[in-house]
Amino acid sequence: MTKTTAIILTGLIVAGSFPLDAREGLADAVRACKKIENPASRLSCFDLLLSDMDVAPDVSKKQYSEDDFGARDIKKRAQAEDASKQQTLISGLIEVSRTRKDKYVFILENGQIWKQAQSDTGKLFIPKKLGTVKVVIKRGFLGSHRLMIEGKKRLIKVNRLR
């Protein structure tokens, strides 16, 4: 060990024994350790500096039991099941009209208004008596929605207006 390293280490030990402002004392000690050129000496300087500090994390605060292992997966599954219940809407159909661009507009019993998407070119068979007609709207991929007249197989893409 060189004389410079010995002097710096002695200075660190002496500086650590006096109460100083924690930030300034630590910053000065780190700067002194950084100036040491020999890697082994520099490491021992940092080790000496940190030996008095409590740097280990306190693991006693949060104890996990075996019962907690994988519990997050159960919560996610339950949330997914709740969300899947909200994937379908069934409502009576009050009125159906057509736009100038030949797209359907549906007014439902619950007050919602749905319009056929511009990208959809499908046609539906709409019964003349709407009083007993039910529509099923299902959530599709990436937030899209599909409407189907109950009892029919044809789906069209729709967007909610109101």
104-108 vs 155-160, strand pairing mode? unpaired
Distances (CA, A) of 117 to 53, 112, 146, 155, 156: 65, 15, 9, 12, 8
Q: What is the pLDDT of residues 90-125, one digit of tens each?
A: 888 888 888 998 898 998 988 899 998 888 888 877
The confidence band for 18, taking pLDDT boundaries of 50, 70 and 90, is very low
Nearest to 145 by CA among 160, 125, 135: 160
State phi, psi for 106 to the nearest 5 degrees.
-115, 130
Torsion of CA 21, 26, 32, 37, to 10 degrees: 180
What is the structure's pLDDT at 14? 47
What is each CA distance from 46 to 35, 58, 92, 113, 114, in whole angstroms?
11, 22, 75, 70, 69
Quote the pLDDT of residue 73. 67
Q: Is the pLDDT of residue 6 over 80?
A: no
Kindly list the domain boundaries of the chain, sorted by start residue.
3-51, 85-160
What pLDDT does residue 89 have?
A: 86
Model confidence, pTM? 0.47
Lowest mean pLDDT among 11-15, 32-36, 80-84, 93-97: 11-15
Coil, strand or helix at 84: helix
What's the chain's average pLDDT? 76
* Residues 68-81 pLDDT 10s: 666 666 677 667 66
Q: Which of 19-33, 100-114, 145-159 has the lowest mean pLDDT?
A: 19-33
pLDDT at residue 69, as a whole number = 61
